Chains A and B, each alone.
Chain A
Amino acid sequence: MSRLDLADVSPIAEEAPLLDVQGLTKLYGGRVGCEDVSFQLWPGEVLGVVGESGSGKTTLLNCLAARLEPTSGTIHYRMRDGEMADIFALSEPRRRLLTRTDWGFVHQNPRDGLRLSVSAGANVGERLMAVGARHYGAIRAAATDWLDKVEIETQRIDDLPRDFSGGMQQRLQIARNLVSNPRLVFMDEPTGGLDVSVQARLLDLLRGLVRDLGLAAVIVTHDLGVARLLAHRLMVMRGGEVVESGLTDQVLDDPQHPYTQLLASAILQA
Chain B
Amino acid sequence: MTELLRIIDLEKGFTLHNQGGTRFEVLNNVNFAIEAGECVALDGPSGVGKSTLMRAIYANYMPQAGHVLIRHDAQIVDMVGAPPRLVLEVRRKTLGYVSQFLRAVPRVSALDVVAEPLRALGTDIETARQRAADLLQRLNIPERLWKLAPATFSGGEQQRVNIARGFAAPYPVLLLDEPTASLDATNRSAVQGLIEEARKRGAAILGIFHDREVREALATRLYPMQTAETA
Contacts and interface: CB of A to CB of B under 8 A. Distances in A.
Given A250-B62, A254-B62, A4 B85 contact: no
B88 A256 contact: no
Contact of A9 (B1, B3, B69, B108): B69
A149 interface: no
B6 interface: yes
B127 interface: no
Given A4-B69, A253-B55, A12 B83 contact: yes
Contact of B108 (A3, A5, A45, A204): A204
Contacts of A250: 59-62
Interface stretch (A22-30, A122-130, A258-266): A258-266
Interface residues of B, number: 37
Which among A2, A4, A258 has the greatest number of chain B C-beta atoms within 10 A?
A: A4
B62 A261 contact: no
Contacts of A204: 105-108
A57 interface: no
A209 to B, nearest CB: 14
B71 A247 contact: no
Contacts of B77: 9-10
A167 to B, nearest CB: 13
Interface string B1-18: 111111010000010111
A201 B75 CA distance: 39
A27 B3 CA distance: 53
- The number of chain A residues touching the other chain, given as a range, is 20 to 34
Which among A2, A200, A249, A261 has the greatest number of chain B C-beta atoms within 10 A?
A: A249
B60 A42 contact: no
A40 B167 CA distance: 34
Contact of B60 (A9, A200, A254, A262): A254
Contact of A265 (B3, B18, B69, B107): B18
B6 A4 contact: yes
Contacts of A66: none
A232 interface: yes
B76 interface: yes
Interface of B: 1-6, 8, 14, 16-18, 33, 35, 55, 59-62, 67, 69-71, 75-78, 82-88, 105-108
29 contacts: A2-B2, A2-B35, A3-B3, A3-B6, A3-B33, A4-B5, A4-B6, A4-B70, A4-B76, A5-B76, A6-B67, A6-B78, A9-B69, A9-B78, A10-B77, A12-B83, A204-B105, A204-B108, A207-B105, A233-B84, A233-B85, A246-B84, A247-B84, A247-B87, A254-B14, A254-B60, A254-B62, A258-B18, A262-B18
Interface of A: 2-6, 8-10, 12, 42, 45, 200-201, 203-204, 207, 229, 232-233, 246-250, 253-254, 256-258, 261-262, 265
Given A204-B105, A229-B105, 20 more contacts: A2-B1, A2-B2, A10-B75, A10-B76, A10-B77, A204-B108, A233-B85, A246-B62, A247-B84, A249-B60, A253-B55, A253-B61, A254-B55, A254-B60, A256-B62, A257-B17, A258-B17, A258-B18, A261-B16, A262-B18
